[in-house]
Amino acid sequence: MDTEQTVDDPARLREMADSDLLLLSVRDPEVFGVLYDRHIVAVLSFFQRRTASPQDSADLAAETFARAFQMRHKYVPTESAGIAWVLGIARNELRQAARSGRVRDRARVRLGMSRIELDDESFERIEELVDFAPLRLELEEALKAMSPKIAGALLLRIGLELPYEEVARRLGCSRGTARARVSRGLTALADTLEGAR
């Protein structure tokens, strides 16, 4: 791969390996968009699986890609595949967030990117990226240990896979409250299940 060249053919770009895209993006920053398109869903899933919070996953993904762009000239293809390198940055961001209790935003701010508040559709679609079904038995045990309001919201949303409107109607609360209960419940479950391992 000659990184001194630029590649204008979108089809050719889409066929290129991650490592070549990263190397090429040092000279042609626009190429970084192809890498983003290829891996944004994987990165969001990575964070959603570990945080159970769509908004945190979105914030972490934004910081990860901003940081990856700023660090791309340090990428060494012999040390890791492109996606592994990006996920390595993602892991660092997650570790930092867990340690400090907040998602960093320095790389994002440095690129002049605004923070994106998730709309309802994005929130639910990110939430749906992770299939919690294999964990259902463990979840049932953990659900017994939490408050009935939160457990009820989780059962309706995760167990019965009802939309938030229906969860809110059955619980007699607002859609926002239902979502908050589910979010708190998922966070508590993540802590419980993580502790069990």
Nearest residue (CB) to another protein, 12 versus 74: 74
Nearest residue (CB) to another protein, 99 versus 197: 99
Nearest residue (CB) to another protein, 113 versus 171: 113
Which residues sit at the interface with another protein, rule CB under 8 A?
29-30, 32-33, 36-37, 40-41, 44, 58, 61-62, 65-67, 69-71, 74, 89, 92, 95-96, 99-100, 104, 106-114, 116, 118-119, 121-122, 125-126
CB of 59 to another protein, least distance (A): 10
SS3 160: coil
Output the CA–CA distances (angstroms, integers) from residue 64 to 67, 128, 130, 136, 173, in the order listed. 5, 21, 19, 30, 35
**Phi, psi of 55, deg, nearest 5:** -70, -45
Closest by alpha carbon to 150, among 94, 96, 189?
A: 189
CB of 5 to another protein, least distance (A): 17
Return the structure tokens found at 139: 């979840």
C-alpha to C-alpha distance for 154 and 138, rounded to whole angstroms: 14
CB of 188 to another protein, least distance (A): 23
| Cβ–Cβ < 8 Å for 24, 31 | yes
H-helix or E-strand spanning residue 130: none
Nearest residue (CB) to another protein, 97 versus 167: 97
Nearest residue (CB) to another protein, 62 versus 143: 62
CB of 184 to another protein, least distance (A): 21
CB of 141 to another protein, least distance (A): 32
